[in-house]
């Protein structure tokens, strides 16, 4: 009985996580996917290029697109 209850809770959690990922992909339509598997949000800080950062501050991945269309990935500041 306890094992079944735990399985039901875990399944609900996984479904909610997948739904949240799907919503982020729809909200940030033209954004790349981070190395951790989540959508990246656009931002502008030091250039006029297209730039993105991971939605999770603990991840810290950032990316930008150069003039020829190539993505450049780097590890930004992590704030844990």
Q: What is the pLDDT of residue 78?
A: 61
Characterize the bridge pairing of strands 71-75 and 50-54.
unpaired
Mean pLDDT (the chain) is 84
Q: What is the pLDDT of residue 79?
A: 52
The CA distance from 49 to 80, in Å, is: 27
Residue 74: pLDDT over 60: yes
Lookup: tokens for 35? 């190395």
Residue 63: pLDDT over 60: yes
Residue 80: pLDDT over 70: no
The strand ranges marked E within the chain are 40-43, 50-54, 61-65, 71-75
Model pTM? 0.68
- Cβ neighbours, 10 Å, residue 40: 23
């Amino acid at each position: 009985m306890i094992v079944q209850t735990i399985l039901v809770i875990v399944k609900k959690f996984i479904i909610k996580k997948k739904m949240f990922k799907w919503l982020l992909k729809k909200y940030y339509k033209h954004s790349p996917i981070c190395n951790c598997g989540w959508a990246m949000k656009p931002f502008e800080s030091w250039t006029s290029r297209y730039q993105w950062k991971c939605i999770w501050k603990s991840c810290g991945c950032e990316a930008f697109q150069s003039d020829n269309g190539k993505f450049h990935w780097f590890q930004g500041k992590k704030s844990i």
